[in-house]
Amino acid sequence: MLDDDPRTRLALALDVDDLVVALRLARRLRPWFGVAKVGLELFGAAGPEAVSALLDEGYQVFLDLKLHDIPTTVSRAARVLGGLGAAYATVHTQGGEAMMKVAVSGMAEGASAAGASAPCVLGVTVLTSDVDAPADALASRSRLAAAAGCGGLVCAASDLAVTSRAAPGLLTVVPGIRPSGVSTDEQARAATPGAAIAAGADILVIGRAVTGAEDPEAMAAAVASEVASSMAKRRG
C-alpha cells in the first residue's frame, strides 16, 4: 500500500457533513493526497456512498469509524464495512483482543464476499485529544492489536517510541498533524509533519490544517514537501 510517493503517506481528513463539499475538497487536493479519511461525520451524512465516491476519484479510503462494541455486533458491522472497498478501517483497542479479532476476520469476510481486498485494520490506541497517554496503556493496547491480527495502529507521534517497541512491524498512522504556526485546535498531542515522519510514522492524517487554510493548495504542497524531505532523511 505504501511506496516512495508522498501521497501514499498523506491522508486527507474530510471531516464535513456534505458529500458534495467533501468531493470538492478531494478533487482540489488530489495532487498531494493519496488517501481520503471518511470519519463519523461524513459517513453519518452520506453513508457507504462516501466511500465509493472517493474510490472513483482515485483515492484509497481510510474508513475511520473506531468500532467498539460487543464482539457479535462488531463482527456483523465489520462484514458490512469490509465489502465497501476501503484500504484502511479502525477499531478501538479498548474493546479488547476478542473484539478486534472478529473485526479483522469480519472485514476480511466482507471484502471476500464483495470481491475486494481486505482492509488493513488499525487499532486506535489513545486519542490525540487526550492530554495523557500512559506508556503502560499504549504498550498493552498495541500488543493486543498485534495479537488480534490488526495490521496497524493509530497513535500520536509522541507515542511511537512506545508502540513501535510493543508491536514492531505494524503500520503506524498518526493523526493530530499540525504544520508549524497552525493552531493545534483540540489536539493535545500534536506534531509537525516532519517530526512525525522522523519519529517513525508511516501515514499522516491531516484535515483542518489544510482544508481550513486560506490557500489549501499551497498548504498541501508545503506539507507534501516537508514529508518528502523527512522521508528522504529517514531512508538516508
Count, residues in the chain: 236
CA angle 219, 222, 56 (to 5 degrees): 65
CB atoms within 10 A of CB 1: 15
3-state secondary structure of 235: helix
Lookup: cell for 224: 507534501
d(CA 94, CA 100): 9
- Contact indicator for 75, 102 with CB cutoff of 8 Å: yes
Query: Is 66 among the residues known to form the active site?
Result: yes
Which DSSP symbol is given to 8? G
- Contact indicator for 56, 27 with CB cutoff of 8 Å: no
3-state secondary structure of 94: helix
In one-letter notation, the amino acid at residue 111 is: A
Selection from 227, 74, 43 nearest residue 150 by Cα: 74
Among left, alpha and beta (phi > 0; psi -120 to 50; other), residue 91 is beta
What is the maximum span of the chain, computed from C-alpha positions, in angstroms?
Answer: 47
**What is the set of active-site residues?**
66
